[in-house]
């Protein structure tokens, strides 16, 4: 686990809306290492979904990637012609969208979904080969092969999500981007799907970028996590280090706000204030967290903190010196 | 703000062996099987279960939004479903319901002021304009949407998910209800805002003496919201599988389903990489058609032959009621991750 498989440098992306520009990805740099499971943690409205969209240039019409580089094995995805990007996305890089279970076609059996996906990316495969591969990946997701004959409405929410993940994996990507893949499912189902993803990551070395609002769900599963706030990454480190000894005040506040069974009621604290506006011109000056930060200093209101490297950890905060 | 006048021992509402069966053309589904419950003032009753467990149906029966197929609902000794429509509506107002989705529950073209003022005018007749405004500001302060004057003319899309849900909650208390059914109030709200919603519910209980039926799938939030004397019902496929004091169940669950729920509940000291627990979770994704045995048998790591063939008895252990053949053997037993 050393080589970066994906290197994001100074990426900035906006949405064009009536009120102006919403800068949901603001000068973000991040490396994704070969074989790791990297969690990106952010609350709703922080721009974490947009980050994945900017990496793959998959987004709505009012979405603009301003600047930066996204190097996948030294190829800049932002400069790649559409046709080549699409080929790469179907085969080398997989994308599991949020609420992806709703993306299954109600008129298609699971089998047909596999035929459609595989034949468009691997035109050389015949039907038997496609079916064999489908069975292989369904079993990897702990689904019975007879699921192939079922329509989406015959599957539970958790089974649908497993089918979608199996579909994405069947194109044999080496990098999978997952956007809140288990939200809206029961806790037991969530835990078992996440454990399943970890199993695949460990066994096959598939690199995964896992975007979620719930840091607790990645305990024991993610290698590293990046904390995303107001369109920026504020802290990166191994999940054990970050949870045990958070550096950034936002990370600390986020962990304090978690409601867990090993905390007493007095130990849980909501974060005061509101998430920042991402509208250009309305975004807080200096550090984006300063209006809610208990350690705010004068410099925080004026100067944006640079990303510091402290050993194997990164933090963007004026409390620390590089 | 007027206070509920009931004393602590008085039962506000009771459910006696209530069942709800939904019929479709082909089959009928028992969403709630013979469930009994007593609601008292200043009490939080926690209902925990996954989707399909019948927890929302139970909440709807309590809020008089769902008529039971069998069994009896009593509100202060009378059966609301036997009362004339006008009286039924009066009782219904005393039991308010807060929905899961604060994004769908607010009218997007009404300001915060209009949202609350329209309900205040409906229930507190004869108030002057200033008095209505004062009351709205009082409610916003209670909801910790501050400064209230700043938010009066804001629309729901200006508010965070947490604020929206707190607005929904204070809107529900305007009719001065005795029971508040909160159905998954934190499941659609950001992590950092969840505690603020639970705090509001706790203060409604302590300040207004309200009974709160708190429906959730997050066991960790039960610990947060409950006092030592509050109850917890663990539900699975329409049945209450374990019932007792929340603090006791959280400390030592007896039913295998409660044990599994607790072992995966959010905890910073949880070990997510536990190979054996992972096996149990995978086991739990199996699905088999039920016979007349225990509803949990096909997912249960403790199941024996009898569990698949005979319906389980209700076993009383101290203050606890457990629906399980092996309840007495399983006291103090851990999930068999060995």
Whole-number pLDDT of residue B26: 82
DSSP code for B27: -
Q: Would you say A21 and A47 are in contact if contact means Cβ atoms under 8 Å apart?
A: no
Whole-number pLDDT of residue B9: 67
Whole-number pLDDT of residue B289: 45
Integer Cα distance of B98 and B214 in angstroms: 10
Give the pLDDT band (50/70/90) at residue A270: confident
Whole-number pLDDT of residue A112: 96
Q: Are A192 and B265 within 8 A, CB to CB? A: no
Whole-number pLDDT of residue B80: 97
Integer Cα distance of A122 and A172 in angstroms: 11
pLDDT over threshold 60, residue A229: yes
Whole-number pLDDT of residue B291: 64
Whole-number pLDDT of residue A157: 85
Q: Is A80 within a domain? A: yes
- CB–CB contacts below 8 A, A to B: 124
pLDDT over threshold 80, residue A104: yes
Integer Cα distance of B144 and B277 in angstroms: 40
Q: Is B29's Cβ below 8 Å from some Cβ in A?
A: no
Whole-number pLDDT of residue B247: 94
Retrieve residue A191's tokens: 């835990």
Report how many domains make up chain A.
1
Q: Is A121 within a domain? A: no
Mean pLDDT, residues B204-210: 93
Integer Cα distance of A133 and A167 in angstroms: 10
pLDDT over threshold 70, residue A175: yes
Whole-number pLDDT of residue B28: 84
Higher pLDDT, B187 or A235: A235
Q: Which residues of A touch B250 (CB under 8 A)?
A: 261
Q: Is B157's Cβ below 8 Å from some Cβ in A?
A: no
Q: Is B30's Cβ below 8 Å from some Cβ in A?
A: no
Give the pLDDT band (50/70/90) at residue A184: confident
pLDDT over threshold 50, residue B4: no
Nearest CA-CA distance, residue B337 and chain A, Å: 15
Measure CB to CB from residue A214 to each of B191, B262, B264 and give the nearest one. Answer: B191
DSSP code for B332: T
pLDDT digits (tens, 9 = 90+) for A276-320: 889 998 999 999 999 999 999 999 999 999 999 999 999 999 999
Percentage above 70 pLDDT, chain B: 90
Minimal Cα distance from B226: which residue of A?
A265
Mean pLDDT, residues A77-84: 92
Integer Cα distance of B287 and B276 in angstroms: 20
pLDDT digits (tens, 9 = 90+) for B263-289: 888 888 877 666 666 666 665 544 444
Q: Is A268 within a domain? A: no
* ipTM entry: 0.81
CA A238 to chain CA mean position, Å:
16
CA B138 to chain CA mean position, Å:
26
β-bridge pairing B320-323 and B28-39: unpaired
Measure CB to CB from residue B224 to each of A213, A243, A268 and give the nearest one. Answer: A268
Q: Are A188 and B271 within 8 A, CB to CB? A: no
Whole-number pLDDT of residue A192: 86
Higher pLDDT, A102 or A108: A108
pLDDT over threshold 80, residue B78: yes
Q: Is A147 within a domain? A: no
Whole-number pLDDT of residue A264: 87
DSSP code for A284: P
Percentages (nearest 5) of helix, strand, coil residues in chain A: 35, 25, 40
Average pLDDT over chain A reads 92
Q: Is A229 within a domain? A: yes
Cβ-based burial of B56 (10 A; exposed 0-12, middle 13-18, buried ≥19): buried
Q: Would you say B193 and A270 are in contact if contact means Cβ atoms under 8 Å apart?
A: yes
Beta bridge partners of B235: B240
**Between B256-264 and B275-283, two packed helices, what is the crossing angle to 10 degrees?**
130
Mean pLDDT, residues B37-47: 95
Q: Is B335's Cβ below 8 Å from some Cβ in A?
A: no
Q: Is A190 within a domain? A: yes
Whole-number pLDDT of residue A149: 95
Beta bridge partners of A315: A235, A308
Q: Is A86 within a domain? A: yes
pLDDT digits (tens, 9 = 90+) for B121-179: 999 889 999 999 999 999 999 999 988 999 999 999 888 888 999 999 999 999 999 99
pLDDT over threshold 80, residue B337: no
Percentage above 90 pLDDT, chain A: 73
* Secondary element (H or E) of residue A63: strand A63-72
Whole-number pLDDT of residue B273: 63
Domain of A84, in residue numbers: 4-92+173-241
β-bridge pairing A63-72 and A4-17: antiparallel
Q: What is the CATH number of the domain that holds A179?
A: 3.40.50.300
pLDDT digits (tens, 9 = 90+) for B216-251: 998 999 999 999 999 999 999 899 999 999 999 999
Q: Which residues of A touch B273 (CB under 8 A)?
A: 198, 220-221
Q: Is B261's Cβ below 8 Å from some Cβ in A?
A: yes
Q: Are A265 and B224 within 8 A, CB to CB? A: yes
Q: Which residues of A touch B163 (CB under 8 A)?
A: 274
Whole-number pLDDT of residue B123: 93
Measure CB to CB from residue A220 to each of B195, B271, B281 and give the nearest one. Answer: B271
Q: Are A220 and B272 within 8 A, CB to CB? A: yes
Q: Would you say A114 and A170 are in contact if contact means Cβ atoms under 8 Å apart?
A: yes
Q: Is A158's Cβ below 8 Å from some Cβ in B?
A: yes
Beta bridge partners of A209: A38, A177
Percentages (nearest 5) of helix, strand, coil residues in chain B: 35, 20, 40
Integer Cα distance of B257 and B64 in angstroms: 29
pLDDT over threshold 70, residue B6: no
DSSP code for A118: H
pLDDT over threshold 70, residue A54: yes
Integer Cα distance of B338 and B330 in angstroms: 15
Q: Are B273 and A198 within 8 A, CB to CB? A: yes
The 3-state DSSP class for residue B295 equals coil
Percentage above 70 pLDDT, chain A: 99
Higher pLDDT, A322 or B227: B227
Whole-number pLDDT of residue B324: 95
Beta bridge partners of A14: A23, A64
pLDDT over threshold 50, residue B2: no
Query: How many residues appear in chain B?
Result: 338
Q: Would you say A162 and A199 are in contact if contact means Cβ atoms under 8 Å apart?
A: no
How far is residue B173 from each of residues A278, B3, B142, B188, measured CA to CA in Å? Answer: 34, 11, 11, 21
Within 10 Å of residue A295's Cβ, how many Cβ atoms?
12
Half-sphere exposure (CA, 13 Å, Cβ side) for A43?
Answer: 25
Q: Is B199's Cβ below 8 Å from some Cβ in A?
A: yes
Q: Is A286 within a domain? A: no
Give the pLDDT band (50/70/90) at residue B107: very high
| Residue B251, C-beta contacts closer than 8 angstroms, at least 6 positions apart | none
Q: Are A216 and B270 within 8 A, CB to CB? A: yes
């Amino acid at each position: 686990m050393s080589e970066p498989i994906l290197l994001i440098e100074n990426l900035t992306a906006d949405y064009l809306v009536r009120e102006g520009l919403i800068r949901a990805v603001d000068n973000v740099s991040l490396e994704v290492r070969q074989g790791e499971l990297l969690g990106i943690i952010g609350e709703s409205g922080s721009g974490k979904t947009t980050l994945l969209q900017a990496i793959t240039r998959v987004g709505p019409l009012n979405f603009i990637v301003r600047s930066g580089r996204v190097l996948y094995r030294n190829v800049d995805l932002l400069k790649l012609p559409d046709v080549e990007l699409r080929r790469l996305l179907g085969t080398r890089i997989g994308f599991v969208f949020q609420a992806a279970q709703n993306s299954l076609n109600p008129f298609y059996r699971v089998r047909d979904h596999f035929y459609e996906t595989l034949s468009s990316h691997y035109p050389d495969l015949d039907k038997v080969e496609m079916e064999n591969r489908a069975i292989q990946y369904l079993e990897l997701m702990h689904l019975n092969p007879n699921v192939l004959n079922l329509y989406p409405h015959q599957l539970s929410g958790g089974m649908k999500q497993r089918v979608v993940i199996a579909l994405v994996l069947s194109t044999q990507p080496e990098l999978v981007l997952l956007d809140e893949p288990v939200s809206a499912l029961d806790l037991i189902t969530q835990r078992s799907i996440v454990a399943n993803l970890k199993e695949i990551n460990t066994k096959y070395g598939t690199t995964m970028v896992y975007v979620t609002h719930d840091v607790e769900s990645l305990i024991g599963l993610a290698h590293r996590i990046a904390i995303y706030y107001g369109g920026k990454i504020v802290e990166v480190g191994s999940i054990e280090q970050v949870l045990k000894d958070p550096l950034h005040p936002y990370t600390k506040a986020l962990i304090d706000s978690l409601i867990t069974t090993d905390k007493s009621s007095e130990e849980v604290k909501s974060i005061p204030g509101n998430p920042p506006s991402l509208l250009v011109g309305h975004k807080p000056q200096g550090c984006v967290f300063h209006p809610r930060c208990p350690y705010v200093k004068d410099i925080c209101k004026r100067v944006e903190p640079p990303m510091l490297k402290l050993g194997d950890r990164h933090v963007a905060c004026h409390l620390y010196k590089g | 703000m007027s206070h509920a006048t009931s004393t602590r021992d008085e039962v506000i509402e009771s459910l006696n062996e209530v069942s709800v069966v939904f019929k479709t053309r082909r089959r009928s589904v028992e969403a709630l099987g013979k469930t009994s419950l007593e609601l008292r003032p200043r009490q939080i009753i926690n209902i925990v279960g996954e989707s399909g467990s019948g927890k929302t149906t139970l909440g709807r029966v309590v809020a008089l939004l769902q008529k039971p197929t069998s069994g009896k609902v009593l509100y202060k000794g009378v059966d609301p479903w036997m009362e004339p429509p006008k009286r039924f509506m009066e009782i219904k107002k005393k039991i308010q319901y807060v929905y899961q989705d604060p994004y769908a529950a607010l009218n997007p073209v009404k300001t915060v002021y209009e949202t609350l003022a329209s309900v205040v005018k409906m229930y507190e007749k004869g108030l002057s304009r200033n008095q209505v405004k004062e009351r709205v500001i009082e409610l916003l302060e209670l909801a910790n949407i501050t400064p209230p004057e700043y938010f009066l003319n804001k629309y729901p899309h200006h508010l965070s998910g947490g604020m929206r849900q707190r607005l929904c909650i204070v809107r529900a208390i305007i009719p001065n209800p005795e029971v508040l059914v909160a159905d998954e109030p934190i499941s659609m709200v950001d992590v950092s805002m969840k505690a603020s919603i639970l705090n509001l519910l706790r203060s409604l209980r302590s300040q207004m003496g309200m009974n709160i039926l708190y429906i959730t799938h997050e066991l960790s939030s039960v610990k947060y919201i409950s006092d030592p004397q509050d109850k917890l019902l663990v539900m699975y496929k329409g049945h209450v599988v374990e019932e007792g004091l929340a603090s006791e169940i959280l400390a030592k669950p007896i039913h295998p389903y409660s044990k599994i729920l607790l072992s995966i509940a959010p905890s910073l000291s949880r070990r997510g990489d536990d190979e054996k627990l992972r096996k149990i979770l995978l086991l739990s994704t199996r699905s088999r058609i039920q016979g007349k045995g225990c509803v949990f048998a096909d997912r249960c790591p403790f199941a024996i032959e009898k569990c698949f063939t005979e319906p389980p008895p209700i076993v009383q252990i101290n203050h606890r009621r457990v629906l399980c053949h092996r309840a007495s053997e399983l006291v103090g037993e851990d999930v068999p991750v060995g």
